[in-house]
Structure 1
Amino acid sequence: MKKISILLLGMISLVSCKNEPEQAATEVKQEQSIAPVDNEAMESAVIYEANIRQYSPEGSFDAFTKDIPQLKDLGVKVIWLMPIYPISEVRRKATNDLSIEDIEDPEEKKKYLGSYYAIADYTEVNPEFGTKEDLDELVQTAHENGMYVILDWVANHTGWDHAWLEENPDFYTQNDKGEPVDPLNPATGESWGWTDVADLNYDNKELWEAMTAEMKYWIDEHNIDGFRADVAGEVPTEFWEQAVPKLQETKPVFMLAESEDKDLFHNAFDMGYNWEGHHLMNQIAQGEATVAAWDEYMKKIDTTYQQDDYLMNFVTNHDENSWNGTVRERMGDASEAMVALTYTIPGMPLIYSGQEYDMDKRLRFFEKDTISKTKGTMWPLLEKLGELKNSNAALSGGKEAADYVRLKTSADEQVLAFERNKAGKKVVYVANLSDKPVDFTLELKSELQPYLGKKEFKKQKNDQYHMTAWEYVILADN
């Protein structure tokens, strides 16, 4: 028996040795299934915000992973996963005003899942979504389909049952009694109302080390490609500037800041939020501003930011949808023209889960909800826009963005017309951003064909162009 055991052991050892190169090759193949993040890839990228909880009836990583290949049809190159971590149960939000402790009925309590942004553990996954192995499969599938994956990172605060509250109370902002507090408005000293989270204190440099290590874990162990930083401006810029080089020791990463603070772009973030432009789009759609305000905004952008700074453009995201309304609610008949605008101005356009399926409801934020996956008018629109964004250098929107040239019309308060050009390629966007029809003159120096929007764009007998309310056209040379 002993001889047989030794012989069997030797055979197993031999088989193991033969398998080792195969396993190593597999690991290398996974690492090399997509090129490292670089600026060139971001020039033509579309970013997709994935709300795993609400994306499917299952609310799981696996359900989303199945649909990743078809996101290629929309030109998506970056997938931003909303927070995937376990959610704190202590002081968990049930509604905007009530905590889970305010709900008496045990069955009623079960339906309140809390805010994704009240994190109990930075290095675990929410078991409602699946396992870390499921996440790895999601990341690998994305990489195989030419997409990078970034995680939503909440560095400003943790949930109330995070281990740090017991193990490292000095990591937190404390009141006069030495008690941790929720985030306060620095201007007034009053609570923002984020009562389900405890504010972190970045005066403590040990917190810098711990937080950076938590971020690095996901790159080292799960091949994540970067982060979207929640309320990035509420965390010291110096923290981000020391963290990013350490993250890049493993591989290049892509960093998105939920902020327009230009100082964040110097040494930490690649892209910020175009909040001001977004709010202006809403105001124009609601008749509260004209195209003249947009022109002033674009001049401001040009003088405020450095040439290699760029912003994420959007008509919706998780905050806007849940708290301020659907695209249709806020933008009405201007919706399609505004979506097209987010793709044609400098920067990177965002698609939020459900937008591609004409979602016309506000997703519940603290409870389970789901989107309806019926392809209507928005999917083919985003498909065409994504194709143009991916293929035409005139829509380059990153650190080497194509030029933006305002084209003068005879009705500049109603009509927005501009040209983007780079490497001999040109794209022109023309839109009547008002609720009244308009006749106007416009000098076009290039013979470009209608690509999207108005099917024919020709001068009338009076040598003017005509557009109905909220009508637009994209002209392109391919």
Structure 2
Amino acid sequence: MIFVAAALVVLNSCSSNGSEKSVTNGKVEQIKHPEWSKNLSIYEVNIRQFTPEGTFNAFIPHLPRLKELGADILWIMPINPIGELNRKGSLGSYYSISDYLTLNPEFGIDEDFKNLIKTAHENDLYVIIDWVANHSAWDNPLVNEHPEWYQKDTTGKMISPYDWTDVVAFDYSNRQMNDYMLNAMKFWVTEYDIDGYRCDVAGMVPDTFWLRVRTELDKIKPVFMLAEDEAPRHHAAFDMTYGWEFHHVMNDIYKGEKNANDIEKYLHKNDSLYPSDAYRMYFITNHDENSWNGTEFERLGEGVKAFFVLTATVPGMPLIYTGQEAAMDKRLEFFEKDAVDWNDYPMADFYHQLFELKKNNPALYNGDFGGSWKRITTDKDKDVFVLLREKGNSKVVSVVNLSAEPLTFTLKGDAYTGDYTLLYTDEKVKLAADQSLTLPAWGYQVYFK
């Protein structure tokens, strides 16, 4: 959902909702991750805009291509029917759910979705679906059948969160409402064999509910859970949270309001707040950013590739959104049909090589599966960010020029020294102590061994 980040931060900081039992030494205890998630990246699928047809069946032929791309967790935006009452636009918001137990008929029927999941699994892909637990459409039958399940103002009228006038907010103080939502989430795991959920505005739903959900879903199969929220406490129930702050740091660097030193500050702050095994999701775009704040090219200009190299090499999991590998430079309509022009996927190899490096080099694995990080300082630290990731004999050194000028600079020390392979060229290179390097404006190099 579209949301005001600052408002969510306030909500997050004011609500603990009973997760204290999962906190030790000032940090939440990270829920155990499914083993299969340790080295994967994630791809956000917008079924409506992915193909001209906008259906599950039209999307299925893309699965082998996405497997080749290398982002092996598919997050599919909401698949449920969309409400008509107070609908925004002609097709409505994906996040206005009129029935939690059926499929959006515009996308297909049960057999189609089951075939999508089966084909994805046959391609060694994992599928999580978007879940909207905080609110429903106004014409969801629950509104009339169980009005006591919804929040009301002082006059007794049901409430829409913020300016989301097409939806009405649930009241999680009602135990029956909690039970219904839990059972609905169990339904899609048991009946369709999905692998988990991305949970919309997770910070607006009580933590006690999410803890219960995770416990019950893991009894069915090991699931993967992504929270659309940044609060560290969510890692008691979720594998991964959004890295919104890092996203804004990157945007601000391109605007000249921050510099490379702010990346190091962010990473240290992250380490101080989150469990070491927490997965953080990093991105240069997603459905909200694309539609409401601009494409990655609008916000990051010539720095698009440089900033994605950062998202793929800092500790965390990189996200790619529908159309990103096509270098799509248009804002997709949110409430209307607006299919992607795939344009022969000009950036597919760029993303593919980073995803494959992450998958095959333990230094870049997720959470505690991955390696440590260390910033290598230079004589131009405001403009250059050099990151060393290391686990055992595996090393990755990413070097990024975060300025609009070509730069020659010197790496300090010798922690990074050794023989490496250069990503994208397979050239064998030696990095020596006090190595001098030159990069073009917004240039990057990734060395690995």
For normalisation by structure 1, the TM-score amounts to: 0.84
Residue 388 of structure 1 is matched in structure 2 by 357
Letter in 2 for 1:137: N
Q: 1:82 and 1:422 mapped to 2: Cα distance? A: 34
Please give the per-residue CA displacement for 1:158-199, whole angstroms capped at 9, x wherever unaligned.
00001111111111110122121101xxxxxxxx21010001
**Residue pair 2:290, 2:296 contacting (<8 A) in 1 also:** yes
Q: 1:457 to 1:319 in 2, by over 3 A?
A: farther
Is structure 2 residue 398 aligned with structure 1 residue 429? yes
Q: 1:453 and 1:279 mapped to 2: Cα distance? A: 31
Question: For 1:244, which of 211, 214, 226 is the aligned residue?
Answer: 214
Instruction: Give the 5 Å matches for 1:166-245.
Output: 166-183=144-161, 192-245=162-215
Residue 443 of structure 2 is matched in structure 1 by 471
> SS of the counterpart of 2:119?
helix
Q: Which 5+ residue runs of structure 2 have no aligned equivalent?
A: 1-31
Q: 1:181 to 1:463 in 2, by over 3 A?
A: closer
Instruction: Give the 5 Å matches for 1:194-343.
Output: 194-266=164-236, 268-343=237-312
Q: 1:83 to 1:324 in 2, by over 3 A?
A: same
**Residue pair 2:420, 2:429 contacting (<8 A) in 1 also:** no
Question: For 2:68, which of 65, 73, 77 is the aligned residue?
Answer: 73
Q: 2:309 and 2:102 mapped to 1: Cα distance? A: 38
Q: 1:88 to 1:325 in 2, by over 3 A?
A: same
Bigger shift: residues 407-416 or 40-49: 40-49
Residue 16 of structure 1 is matched in structure 2 by none
Bigger shift: residues 205-214 or 38-47: 38-47
Q: 1:57 to 1:373 in 2, by over 3 A?
A: same
> SS of the counterpart of 2:219?
coil
TM superposition shift of 1:250: 1.2
Instruction: Give the 5 Å matches for 1:83-102.
Output: 83-94=78-89
TM superposition shift of 1:67: 0.7
> SS of the counterpart of 2:128?
strand
Task: Find the structure with the greater CA-based Rg.
Answer: 1
Residue 126 of structure 1 is matched in structure 2 by 104
Residue 63 of structure 1 is matched in structure 2 by 58
TM superposition shift of 1:261: 0.8
Instruction: Give the 5 Å matches for 1:12-23.
Output: none
Residue 115 of structure 2 is matched in structure 1 by 137
What's the RMSD between the two structures over aligned residues?
A: 1.9
> SS of the counterpart of 1:299?
helix
Q: Report the identity percentage.
A: 45
For normalisation by structure 2, the TM-score amounts to: 0.89
TM superposition shift of 1:375: 2.5
Question: For 2:422, which of 425, 431, 450 is the aligned residue?
Answer: 450
Please give the per-residue CA displacement for 1:322-380, whole angstroms capped at 9, x wherever unaligned.
00111100000100111111111111111101101111100000000100122343111
TM superposition shift of 1:452: 3.4
Q: 2:131 and 2:430 mapped to 1: Cα distance? A: 49
Q: 2:73 and 2:201 mapped to 1: Cα distance? A: 20
Residue 319 of structure 2 is matched in structure 1 by 350
Q: 1:176 to 1:463 in 2, by over 3 A?
A: closer
**Residue pair 1:457, 1:465 contacting (<8 A) in 2 also:** no
**Residue pair 2:40, 2:358 contacting (<8 A) in 1 also:** yes
Q: 2:38 and 2:383 mapped to 1: Cα distance? A: 30
TM superposition shift of 1:456: 9.3
Please give the per-residue CA displacement for 1:230-259, whole angstroms capped at 9, x wherever unaligned.
000010111101111111221111100001
> SS of the counterpart of 1:448?
strand
Letter in 1 for 2:403: S
Q: 2:431 and 2:388 mapped to 1: Cα distance? A: 18
Extract structure 1 runs of 4+ deviating beyond 3 A: 37-40, 452-460
Q: Which 5+ residue runs of structure 1 have no aligned equivalent?
A: 1-36, 95-111, 184-191
**Residue pair 1:314, 1:339 contacting (<8 A) in 2 also:** yes
Q: 2:156 and 2:374 mapped to 1: Cα distance? A: 56
